[in-house]
Amino acid sequence: MKSLKVRFFIFISGLGIIVSLGLGVLMYSRYHNYIKNSYRTTLADTAALVQKLMPELADTETLFKEARERSPDFWAKVELFNQTADSFNMLYIYYMEKVGDRYRFLLASDWTPEMNEDTIDILYDPDYIGKDMDIAYKTQILQIADKPVVNEYGSAISAYLPIMKDGAVSGILGLDFETSFVRRLEQNAIIALSLSLIPVLILAGIFSFILSLSLTKPIARLAENVRHIGAGDLDSKIIIKGKDEIAELGNAFNKMTADIKTHIENISRITAEKERINTELSIASEIQNDMLPKIFPKFTSHKWLALFAKMIPAKQVGGDFYDFFYLNDEETRAVFVIADVSGKGVPAALFMVIAKTLIKAKMLRGLDPASALREVNDQLSEDNTLSMFVTVLLVCLDLETGKMAYANAGHNKPLISQNNGPYRFMELKKGIPLGMLEASEYQLCEIEFHSGDRLYLYTDGINEAMNSLEEQWGNDRFLESANRYRDLLPQEFDTAIRNDIAEFVSGTEQSDDITSLAIYYK
């Protein structure tokens, strides 16, 4: 009995401590985020204010001349920086321009007439300035540091605003926000929260002790009868005299025992089935995600090529896939694949893995696209008891010569733009989908690709996307949209196409996988 009381007391007290600490952590987290958002907003607003008050910042040539001459206009700008820094709790406001790969100061809030004459001639490496300023210069977007920098000058969070002129970055406006008071506020908040939790913990302890005394005796009687049920005796009945809640609990246990006995087999069967299905779907989803390349650095930074690919399945696992890879170590021959497997779910995902693996293996052996499709088709057609098939468009591009060889196995016509002309549907020789008929033949086609040419491979989830009125997006809308965004780079182009589709379907549930691969030959 004493053990039950102690455990009950520890449980209730522990629960009170956990809840109290959880509330404390939640309150502190919200307070911390509020402060963080406040000073980030202050930095952004102050930067915007300085930019608005001083449009002449964009003219770095004049600023440098004024700084060299130390003209009255120059000192007026320094004073405006200084007053703004004082007004908004900034440690430092400064303006820099990039000279080659380095930076130099043109204005700073702490400059005085006594400063060295060669101050504006000093060039600083990006490592000294900080990566956030370099990022702001490259992205042309305001950058605010995530963490404060603590040094001999104090604790500060920095922000960097690119100042634009004629579509290019003219200079970087830097602001250092004093954060030492923020740390003091957070420390005081921790102390206040800790002190406020003490009476809560004391009350929780008193309450748990009283509650344990009032409940342990009837619970002990109930526990004796429940042990039989816990041991598996579902025919055992709990008998507790009285009409209080504990007695009602005993009756509830009796009813629950009968229900458990009736449904336990069904529940076990259903649970096992769900676990099996979820396991299959999880495995299929992982296989599919791992098989599709999702990082493009060695392609997007390639001197001849830029591309982007994406697959969004309609269900947990899909039947579409794409692939791209080099055929040689010199990275001058690239292969692109787009495919659509029949069906959905686990069988389609597994069939997709087999098809993708076979296609890549054949191409790495040195086969041309038509021969590769022919051999893959023969292998997929063997013992294909489920009669599954996959449509494939297989492209091989010589990046040095622009010669593109391709073969089609029943796939959609891709979009192609050549000689800076509009997109059109590329003509394809007909071919039977892989896996349908053994010993099928596929025709090898060739075209010349030139600098600036573009190719967009896709599956029918794009042109057959359907809205709530059961209208398909269709080839006409597709082609119109593609030509509207023709000059965009692959990732932006693909995103724009998908946004147009999303606007057309207007929230209608996706019925088919949407897969695409955009290629730009530089």
Buried b (16+ CB within 10 A) or exposed e, 141-179: eebbbeebeeeeeebbbbbbbbbeeeeebbbbbbbbbbb
Facing residues of 322 across strands?
A: 338
**What's the rounded Cα separation, in Å, for the pair 71 and 511?**
68
Asked whether 506 and 467 are in contact (CB, 8 A), the reply is: yes
Residue 64's contacts (CB-CB under 8 Å, 6 or more residues apart) are 97, 106, 120
Nearest to 163 by CA among 228, 233, 93: 93
C-alpha to C-alpha distance for 480 and 504, rounded to whole angstroms: 13
173: tokens are: 């406006």
pLDDT tens digit at each of 522 positions of the chain: 456 667 766 777 777 777 777 777 777 777 777 778 888 898 899 999 999 999 999 999 999 998 888 899 999 999 999 999 888 888 889 999 999 889 999 999 989 888 887 888 888 888 787 788 889 989 999 999 888 877 766 678 889 999 999 889 999 999 998 877 667 766 776 777 777 777 777 777 777 767 666 666 667 667 776 777 777 777 777 776 667 777 777 777 777 777 777 777 777 788 788 787 777 777 766 767 677 887 775 666 678 889 999 998 887 777 899 999 999 988 899 999 999 999 877 788 889 889 999 999 999 999 999 999 999 999 999 988 889 999 999 999 999 999 999 999 999 999 999 999 999 999 999 999 999 999 999 999 999 999 999 999 999 999 999 999 999 999 999 999 999 999 999 999 999 999 999 999 998 888 888 999 999 998
In sequence order, the β-bridge partners of residue 97 are 104
**HSE on the CB side for 441, CA within 13 Å?**
2
Tell me the domains of the chain and their CATH numbers. 54-178 (3.30.450.20), 286-521 (3.60.40.10)
Structure tokens at 353: 């893995």
Name the helix (H) or strand (E) containing 484: helix 474-484
| 394 contacts: CB under 8 Å, gap ≥ 6 | 335, 336, 337, 359, 363, 369, 372, 373, 406, 407, 408, 409
